[in-house]
Structure 1
Amino acid sequence: MDSATLIIAGIIGLAIGFAIAKFMEKGKASKTLLNAKNEANSIINAAKVEGENIKKDKIFQAKEKFLELKAEHEKVIIGKDKKIGEAEKRTRDKESQVSNELARSKKLNSQLDSKLKEVAHKEEYLEKKQNELEKLHKNQVQQLEVISGLSADDAKGQLMESLKETAKTDAMAYIQTTVEEAKLTAQQEAKKIVINTIQRIGTEEAVENCVSVFNLESDDVKGRIIGREGRNIRALESATGVEIIVDDTPEAIILSCFDSVRREVARLSLHKLVTDGRIHPARIEEIVKKTEKQIEQEIVEVGKRTVIDLGIHGLHPELVRAIGRMKYRSSYGQNLLQHSREVAKLCGVMAAELGLNPKLAKRAGLLHDIGKVPNTEAEVETPHAILGMQWAEKYGEKPDVCNAIGAHHDEIEMKTLIAPIVQVCDAISGARPGARRQVLDSYIQRLKDLEEVAFSFGGVQKAYAIQAGRELRVIVESEKVNDEKAAQLSFEISQKIQTDMTYPGQVKVTVIRETRSVNVAK
């Protein structure tokens, strides 16, 4: 064999080998493909089975959800049907009530119509009767006028006068009875509080006047006080404003002045001059000025001690100074500072007994007569209560305190409970025995005024003011005043005294009616 044949045989052999290899590879690929197809079919079958199962589950769940929604929907429908049924029932009930009310209203309207007809018929009947009665009354009045000889107006006037007198007497008796009952019910507790307060507060009685006596060691000093041609005494009187009376009274000189401060300045100045021995006009002026400064300092110290003793704080310095000046003032012979201290203590105790503020009451009691101490020498026409209230307002006192100061003599209306307490305590302090002295002329005039009030009423025969003006006894004519009229007269006199007069304490009015029947046996 040649090479070409070998090559061809080799090529053929390679081709056969390649073909065999391809064939074998193709059989293996088909086998792999078959396996893949089988596996794919099994996966598809498994997926179909699983899908059917999921489909069945979802269908089952959907049916369950549908049943639940259907049950809920049925419940809602049943509830709505129930509410609709109840509403229909209420509507039917309302309709029946309305129909009943309409029926009753118709019935009432018919009854009202019948009643109105009856009333109209009765009105017509009453009008007829009224006309008949008026005619009958006129006839009777005419007959009575003919019988009595008086007209209807005259008879009516007489009847009204008699009724007036009877009603007035009854009213007076009723008023008096009511007043007495009120006094009886209120007096016990009031007396208890007042007596308890007076017992707990004691003060010494102080009686001062407008004259001071300056004692001397010998009468030789009188000449030195008078000086050459009276120049020393004139200088002293001019510097102090005090009248100095030098008379035959042994070892004494009288200092006369209404202003107690001036009188005290004169007394202390005289004491210093007599002690020093140098008495001449220049020395007198110097000593008087020094004494005035000393007195002013003492006034402030007295005011401070007073407010500290009473436990009162926060007073304006001008009010403290005015309180100190009270030491040298008097009212009806009663020292003003002692009186104000006493009133302050009484107010504090009484306010505590009544459950009020004792500090405020004590403050008002101390300041109630502050208007009696003028800040200037000019005379003031304003009542001391109003003036004191104005000063208290000016220096920042509370409205309750200001009202109590202004109202303690009823010059303004009382607006707080402290005001009557101050008024009562002021009366207690001024009315106790020995507290005050009254000028004889004013005392006698007050007694005369009391008697004149009694004589201003008809039927009064005699009138006597007794017990220092605390009682008025009135003797009436028995022919003109009966027993009921006597009681009425006593009440009217007491009311007139209370309205027209100013007096301390109370005035008892006693009306005496005496009937005497005298016969002579012969």
Structure 2
Amino acid sequence: MGIASGAGSGSPLVWAALVLVGALFLVLGAAWLMFRQRRTELDRREELLLAELHRMHGHEDDLAARAVEAERVRGELAELAAERRRTLERAAGLTAEQARAELLREAESEARREAAVAVREIERQAKADGERRAREIIAASIQRLAAEQTAEAVVTGFKLPNEDMKGRIIGREGRNIRAFEAVTGVNLIVDDTPGVVQLSCFDPVRRESARLTLESLVADGRIHPARIEEAHERSRAEVERLCVRAGEDALLAVRIGEMDPELVRTLGTLRYRTSYGQNVLGHLVESAHIAGMMAAELGVDPELVRRAALLHDIGKALSHEVPGGHAAVGAEFARRHGESPEVVHAIEAHHGEVEPRTVEAVLTQAADACSGGRPGARKESVETYVKRLERLEEIAKAHDGVSKVFAMQAGREVRVMVQPELVDDLRARTIAREVARQVREELTYPGQIRITVVRESRATEFAR
């Protein structure tokens, strides 16, 4: 009975084991079927790839054959072209390079000759236009802008009667020189230079007041802080009077009537300012005269043009106090003090920062350029001057047929000597124009430079 009971209880385990084994066989069978299907698919793809590879190899062979054929045809064409060129060279008696060079020389020579003839014809027609056309050319051709840059003298030397005066100017523990600098706003430089002290300040009016103050103190001999203040007040009043007088003299010189007193005073302060070594007030008076003469020639109101030219640089008296370029500062200052819109526009447009829209503005711009660019008006460094002269001669010497070159009249004229057997009259004019063009493009210079080409024939014999 116990044995039967044990066999009955073990039967479910046996059956479970059998079920697991069966399930395992089913899973293995399904996996095997999937593996077979995957292997079949991979074999099919491999066959397709092999077929595509064989097809591509066939295309490569075809392309290689075509490339060989193209190279052969290219060689045949090159050989035909070479044969054609040799045939032409035998017929013409020239190589291709020689023929090309000859053709270019002839074309260049013909073009230069035609250009010289055309230029001469244009000049003849321009001269025949008469006085009306000449006035238009003058008004249009002299609009040259000067550079927006100034070279100011910021140091004034003051000669002392004796060397002991330096100690009195400095004072005990330097109190006098400190008081002088505090009152005047000017640096007083006392160095080892015998009998001379220097006043340094960017404001020329303030520097002139300090110079008069020091002159008064040295002449009186009593130098102490209280005397310095008194002498400076008197000097300021004297400089103010001199500025007003200078402004009034400028108005009289250019024949201008009433003007706002503040404008007159500010204009007079420019007598102490320089630009490239040129006195600014003198430049304004000269510009006003030039502008007035051009206005009279063109039939424009001379007084209005002279007024605009006289005030065009007034902003230079204020540019160290107000931010901005002196043209814009001067225009705003003139507008505030009652000047007409025409004058204000001429002031703001004289350096091209604003496009000139009136004939007064154009003439002011031209007069400014003429005054600043005339020979001797402004200074330049010796090094720059020498380099410019050397470059002028180099430009002219670079042309064929030129024998000698001379830079004359401080670089205002270039005299070019050419060989008459190599250069004819038309070529001489062409050389002059080419030199002038290169000078305009490469060099910076005031005014104008005259290019003169001299072609001279000489015959020499000896009587023996």
Do these two structures clear the TM 0.5 threshold for a shared fold by scoring above it? yes
How is 1:381-420 mapped onto 2 (pairs within 5 angstroms)? 382=325, 388=330, 398=340, 400-402=342-344, 404-405=346-347, 408=350, 414-420=356-362
Question: What's the CA shift for 1:498?
Answer: 3.4
1:362 aligned onto 2:362 = no
User: TM-score, with normalisation over the residues of structure 2?
Assistant: 0.58
Determine whether 1:487 maps to 2:432.
no
Counterpart residue type for residue 278 of structure 2: Q
- Determine if the alignment matches structure 1 residue 240 to structure 2 residue 207: no
Which residue is 2:440 aligned to?
498
Change (3 A) 1:307 1:515: closer
Aligned counterparts, 1:152-231, within 5 A? 159=103, 162-176=106-120, 178-179=122-123, 182=126, 212=156, 214=158, 216=160, 219-228=163-172, 230-231=174-175
Q: Does the CA-based 8 Å contact 2:126-2:133 persist in structure 1?
A: no
C-alpha displacement of 1:491: 0.7
Q: Distance in 1 between matches of 2:277 and 2:454?
A: 36
Give the drift of 1:180. 6.8
* Alpha-carbon spacing, 1:516–1:222, altered in 2? closer, same or farther (3 Å): same
Are the counterparts in 1 of residues 188 and 197 from structure 2 also a CA contact under 8 Å? Answer: no
2:299 counterpart of 1:375 = no
Tell me the secondary structure at the aligned position of residue 474 of structure 1.
strand
Unaligned runs of 5+ in 2: 1-84, 139-151
**Match in the other structure for 1:326:** 270
Q: Which has the larger radius of gyration?
A: 1
AA of the residue aligned to 1:241: V
Change (3 A) 1:144 1:515: farther
Q: Once the 2 structures are TM-superposed, how far is the Cα of residue 176 of structure 1 from its aligned partner? A: 4.7
Q: Is the 8 A contact 1:176 1:491 kept in 2?
A: no
User: Among 235, 256, 260, which residue is 1:311 paired with?
Assistant: 256
Of residues 360, 363, 367, the one that matches 1:421 is 363
Supply the distance in 1 between the matched residues of 2:132 and 2:124 (Cα, whole angstroms).
13
1:218-251: per-residue Cα shift (whole Å, max 9, x none)? 554333113345553455356433454566655x
In structure 1, runs of 5+ residues without a counterpart are 1-140, 195-207
CA distance in 1, matches of 2:394, 2:412: 15
Matched position secondary structure for 1:464: strand
Distance 1:214 1:347, change over 3 A: same
Distance change (3 Å), C-alpha of 1:182 and 1:226: farther
What TM-score, normalized by structure 1, do the two folds share? 0.53
Contact kept, 8 Å, 1:465 with 1:473, in 2: the verdict is: yes
Shift of 1:261: 1.6
**Cα deviation code 1:36-81 (max 9, x no counterpart):** xxxxxxxxxxxxxxxxxxxxxxxxxxxxxxxxxxxxxxxxxxxxxx
Q: Summarize the Cα distance change of 1:510–1:413 in structure 2 as closer, same or farther, 3 Å threshold.
A: farther
- Post-superposition shift, 1:492? 1.5
1:267 CA displacement:
0.8
Measure how far apart 1:507 and its partner are.
1.3
Report deviation, 1:471: 0.7
Query: Which residue number corresponds to residue 470 of structure 1?
Result: 412
Distance apart, 1:361 and its partner CA: 0.6
| CA shift in 2, pair 1:452/1:394, >3 Å | farther
